[in-house]
Each structure stands twice: as structure tokens, then as C-alpha cells.
Amino acid sequence: MLKEDIIPAKGDKLIHWLAPVVAFVPVLMIFAVVPFQNGALLADLNIGILYIVAITSVAAVGVFMAGWASNNKFSLLGAMRDVAQVVSYEIPLILAIAGVVLVAGSLSMNRIVEAQSVPFILLQPLGFLIFFMAACAEVNRTPFDLLEAESEIVAGFHTEYSGMKFALFYLTEYAEVLALSAIATTLFLCGWKGPLLPPFLWFLIKVFAVFCLIVWVRSTIPRLRIDQVMAFAWKGLLPLALINLFITAVEIVALPAGLPW
């Protein structure tokens, strides 16, 4: 973090400086609506899910700013890959969350946890699988780390960054992994609920488990090609997400007295 902060001579200096901040702040804002235990959250929004969906997409703007401001072909190519990947995987991610919203009957993160008499991962196993794979793509972890593929485009949008700004981009990536682990815990794993241990400790244990799962996937699966990543989103995850949403909606309509759980 103490290394020299180098700015490309022909790059846009202001945008080059702002890009890491624009990428980091939205990720930090996600934690405002995540309940660590009953009522323990900064903002109990009744539209918390919509807030999360909107905020998670903004970080990609910072990445594109970094690629554009660096005046480097590798950086710009990495940024363009990130935008394409986020657009492709945001749709299955939202549809997976929509299935949870239908079952819980609320957009509030706190109420979704309260609605889980059983973990929604048991009621929405396909939804959780879709959410998890789309989340791995959102945070650009292997096998979806095409925007910084060292063997193809040096370091992608990181190429012209050094010092504290480079460290801030790395912090953003891991903060986003932590944020999506917390969201997965809240939506599918009953959040803070659990026997014996304090609620906050249960929440941390579940978040840590999801975080470790993402790291394990990163360590074991090789990087995909760009065409494979795009095809997996549009031909694989999107149809599965639509099927999952349709089945969930049919179950709710067919059982007007309420779902058996």
C-alpha cells in the first residue's frame, strides 16, 4: 500500500483517481440493509431487496471508469469484459432472488429471515445454486475472472494501477465476496437463526461457510473462455432461473391457503 502511486501520462487523472472509490463505496453500502441479528441493521428498508439489486450493479461503473481512464488497451478490454459479465449474470441473480421474495412475501431482508421456519435453501435448492454461480461471476472469481486474466490481458483494468488505489480495488473484490455471502446467508440460510449459540455468532458462522465455498470454487475450477462464460449465463443459468421462478409461482397460486411450510 506504500508503493508509489503511478498515474498514466495520457490517462484521465481525475477519473483514474475516482474509479476505486466509485467501485468500493457501493459494495460498502450493501451492508446497511443486511440484518446481523433480529433488528440489528442500519436501515430496515421494506424494499431492501430492490436496494441490493440496484447497488450491486453500480460497482461495475467504477471498473469501467478504471479501464477507460487508464488509456490502455488491456485495461479497457478488461473493463468491457466486466460490464458484459455483470449484465449477463445480473439477470439470473435477480430471478433467483425473486423466487425467495415470492415464497417470503416481502422485500424486507429482516422479514425474509423471519419467514424462514425452514431454510429457503431446502425450498429453493435450484434458486440457491443459480444465486451462488451468478454471485461468483458478479465478484469475478475463478472460473469467471476474465476481466483480469493474466495470461490474456496482463491484469485487466488493474494494469495501470499501483499503491493504495490498487489495494482499494482488491479490498472491493473481497468486500463484495463478503457482502454476497451475507446476502446468501440472509436469503437462503435463515440468517441469524440457530440453536444454542447467540444469533450474531450463527450469522457469522454461516457467512464464513459461504465465503469458504466461494474460495474453494476459486481454487479448484480452471478459468473459462469468454464465449463459455457468456453461453453459460444466457443458455444455462437464465433458462434455469426462469423455470425456478415459474415453478415457485405455480406452487403459490395452486395453494391459496398457503405453502405447506
C-alpha neighbours within 13 Å on the C-beta side of residue 180 = 30
Domain that holds residue 110: 13-244
Provide mean pLDDT across the span 60-74: 80
**Matching residue, cell 466461494:** 214
Asked whether residue 225 carries a pLDDT value surpassing 70, the answer given is: yes
Q: Give the pLDDT score at 222.
A: 77
With a pLDDT cut of 70, the percent of the chain lying above it is: 88
Residue 201 lies in a domain: yes
Provide mean pLDDT across the span 45-55: 88
Residue 7 lies in a domain: no
* Helix or strand run (H / E) with residue 22: helix 13-30
Residue 256 lies in a domain: no
SS3 10: coil
Q: Give the pLDDT score at 207.
A: 93
Residue 166 lies in a domain: yes
Residue 252 lies in a domain: no
b/e for 41-76, b at 16 or more Cβ within 10 A? beeebeebbebbbebbbebbebbbbbbbbbebebbb
d(CA 14, CA 11) in angstroms, rounded, equals: 9
CA dihedral of 240, 242, 83, 21, whole degrees rounded to 10: -100
Between these two residues, 228 and 185, which has the higher pLDDT value? 185
Asked whether residue 2 carries a pLDDT value surpassing 70, the answer given is: no
Residue 90 lies in a domain: yes
Residue 255 lies in a domain: no
d(CA 124, CA 99) in angstroms, rounded, equals: 8
Residue 195 lies in a domain: yes
Per the structure, the count of domains in the chain is 1
Q: Give the pLDDT score at 238.
A: 93
Number of other CB atoms surrounding residue 174 within 10 Å: 14
Asked whether residue 64 carries a pLDDT value surpassing 70, the answer given is: yes
Residue 15 pLDDT grade (very low, low, confident, very high; cuts 50, 70, 90): confident
Which of 142-151, 155-164, 191-200: highest mean pLDDT?
191-200
Between these two residues, 57 and 243, which has the higher pLDDT value? 243
